[in-house]
Amino acid sequence: MIELDETLPLGAICNADLDSLQSHIGTLGAIWLSGQGAGMQVGPEDELLAWDARAGDGRALPSLPNEGHGKAAYIGDIAGLAAKPEINCGMVLEAACPNPTRFSAAVIYLPDPTGQTRTLWSMNTAQAQGKGDRGDYIFLSESDGEVTLKDTKGALELTTKAPLAPLDQPRLIVASVQGSQVALICDTERGVQSASGQDAGLRGPADFFIACRSNRRGLPKTLGGGVILDVLLWPDCDLLMDPDAQARARLEALRHYYLWGYLAL
C-alpha cells in the first residue's frame, strides 16, 4: 500500500466520483455549457432549441442561420451538439463577455471523423459594434491536423498541432486571450503554447458563438463536423499566460474532469 502525507487534488484518485468532479467544475467561475445534465432543451426532432448553462448565468440559443440544423447527439453515456459540414448548426451566448480583450475558454469535443471539425467557437463583437453580422471576431478552429486561434484582422494568430487523442475520443483545447497575446493548450500532456501580436481591436460586450463564427449566413467552408460536449467560458480571466493561484486551480480541475469524465469512460 502506498501512503502519502500530502492531500491529493480532486480527480487524482483513479476511482474519483464523476458527480463530485462535475460539482467541482461548477464552482470554478465559468459559464459552463455541458451535454452531461439537463441543460440541453431538445425539440421533437432532436433539434437543440436552447442550451442552459450548468454553472454561471447564460442560455445559448441557435444562431440566426441555424434553423433547426443543430441537433443533440447521444453517444453512449455522453451527449452534445452535433455539427454538420458546411451547415450552420451553431449556438450563441449573447453578450457573454463584457471585455473580449481578456478571456479564457475551453472546449471538449468529439472531432469530425474526417479531421475537419473546423470552427469550435468564436468571440464576436458585431452586435456591440453595431455592424450587423460582420463585426470583428477571434475564433478557434481545427482542421487538417492543426488548431488555429486567430482574429479576422490578422493581429493575433497561433497555430499548433491538433490534440493527440484519436478521432474517436473526446479532445480538450484550452485557450486564453489577453490584449496582444494568445495561448493554447491542446493536450493534457503538452504545455502552453503562446504567441504575441497586436491588439485585435475587439471591444465588448461580445457574443460567444459555438460551432460557428457569427450570425452571418454563408461562410460554409468554416463549418465542419464533430460533437461539442462541453464549453466553458471565463470572461476577464487568463488561465494560461500569467495565471494566478486561482487560475491554476481552475485549470487543474478542468484537466481532472476531462481525464476521468471522458478518457476514463
The model's pLDDT over 162-219, given as tens digits with 9 standing for 90+, comes to: 998 888 999 999 999 999 999 999 976 678 999 999 999 898 899 999 999 999 988 8
pLDDT over 70 (residue 74): yes
Show the DSSP H helices in the chain as ranges. 18-25, 245-258
Residue 188: per-residue pLDDT: 67
Above 50 in pLDDT, residue 3? no
192 or 5: whose pLDDT is higher?
192
Record the cell numbers describing residue 249, joined without a space: 486551480
Query: Looking at residue 261, what DSSP letter applies?
Result: I
Q: Tell me, what's the pLDDT at 16? A: 47
Positive or negative: CA dihedral 35, 37, 40, 42:
positive
Predicted local distance difference test score (pLDDT) of residue 217 = 87
Q: Is residue 83 predicted with pLDDT exceeding 70?
A: yes
Other CB atoms within a 10 A radius of the CB of residue 182 amount to 26
Cα–Cα dist 68/59, whole Å = 17
Q: Which CATH architecture has domain 18-263?
A: Sandwich (2.60)
Task: Please tell me the predicted confidence (pLDDT) of residue 29.
Answer: 84
Nearest partner of 254 among 105, 52, 147, judged by Cα: 105
Q: What pLDDT does residue 8 have?
A: 40
Q: What is the pLDDT of residue 260?
A: 86
SS3 56: coil
Q: What average pLDDT score do residues 216-232 get?
A: 94
Using 50, 70 and 90 to split pLDDT, how confident is the model at 25?
confident
pTM across the whole model: 0.91
